[in-house]
């Protein structure tokens, strides 16, 4: 079974990216020479996801004007308007109820740059058949580590290593459409829907190793620029 539709939320106000987001929606903040959400759309297209439901709220007109019907990017885009205050729960609920007929589809926040292969994620979900699957990866520690010996001598340094014992939510999901019954009127799915799904083992994770960049703060933006420079050399 091919999964060819994605719901992408691009309505957040990007408060931690101010003043960039005072007059520019977070989705259109330039990262490595193109708008953040364009990275997501092009990645979806590369993974053969051609139909995109874009959830918009903050400065939504600018996003709609920029991407239009999606034909310029070889995809089909429709827009679902929600409120900033309604959170991801409202954003997903309205987009799904309005525009999703498929039983299985991708859903995601629109602020990540990744090389995750969506077919592998979909195959995992279709094999295990949960209500939702979350793609997860190992986060990087925000601090440099020191190696010491038994006498407290410093013997080496590791700069911001990957935390192999921890898993972080990438904000990339596969949903069954019946998840609508579990989405709140307002609030975030991370605090409402997902905890509820764990009670009857309806939520699974798909671990992956690879490129994952998320942009939430000005520091994230600077780090993303540096990583993309290395990748594109």
Structural domain of residue 176, as residue ranges? 5-130+171-231
pLDDT for residue 163: 60
For residues 226 and 23, give the distance between their C-alpha atoms in angstroms, rounded to a whole number. 25
Cα angle 10, 172, 43 (rounded to 5 degrees) comes to 75
Residue 227 maps to a domain: yes
Mean pLDDT of 119-140: 92
Residue 55 maps to a domain: yes
Residue 206 maps to a domain: yes
Residue 150 maps to a domain: no
What's this model's pTM, rounded to 2 decimal places?
A: 0.89
Please enumerate, as own/partner, the contacts of 35-38 that have beta carbons within 8 Å and a separation of 24 or more. Answer: 35/66, 36/110, 36/111, 36/113, 36/215, 37/8, 37/10, 37/63, 37/67, 37/110, 38/73
Rounded to the nearest integer, the mean pLDDT of the chain is 90
Count of domains in the chain? Answer: 1
pLDDT for residue 219: 82
| Residue 7, phi-psi category: left (phi > 0), alpha (psi -120 to 50), beta (remainder) | beta
Residue 115 maps to a domain: yes
CATH number where 198 lies: 3.90.550.10
């Amino acid at each position: 079974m091919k999964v060819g539709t994605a719901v992408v939320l691009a309505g957040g106000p990007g408060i931690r990216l101010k003043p960039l987001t005072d007059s520019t929606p977070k989705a259109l903040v330039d990262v490595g020479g193109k708008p953040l959400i364009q990275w997501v759309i092009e990645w979806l297209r590369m993974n053969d996801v051609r139909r995109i439901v874009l959830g918009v709220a903050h400065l939504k007109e600018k996003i709609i004007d920029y991407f239009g019907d999606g034909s310029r990017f070889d995809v089909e885009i429709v827009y679902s308007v929600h409120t900033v205050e309604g959170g991801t729960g409202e954003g997903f609920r309205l987009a799904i109820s309005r525009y999703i007929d498929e039983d299985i589809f991708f859903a995601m926040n629109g602020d990540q740059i990744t090389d995750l292969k969506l077919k592998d994620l979909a195959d995992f979900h279709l094999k295990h058949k949960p209500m939702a699957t979350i793609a997860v990866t190992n986060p990087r520690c925000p601090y440099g580590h020191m190696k010491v010996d038994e006498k407290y001598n410093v013997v080496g340094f590791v700069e911001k290593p990957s935390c192999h014992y921890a898993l972080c939510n990438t904000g990339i999901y596969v949903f069954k459409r019946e998840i609508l019954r579990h989405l709140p009127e307002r609030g975030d799915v991370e605090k409402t829907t997902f905890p509820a799904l764990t009670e009857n083992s309806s939520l699974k994770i798909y671990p992956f190793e690879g490129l994952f960049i998320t942009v939430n703060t000005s520091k994230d933006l600077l780090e993303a620029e540096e990583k993309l420079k290395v990748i594109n050399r």
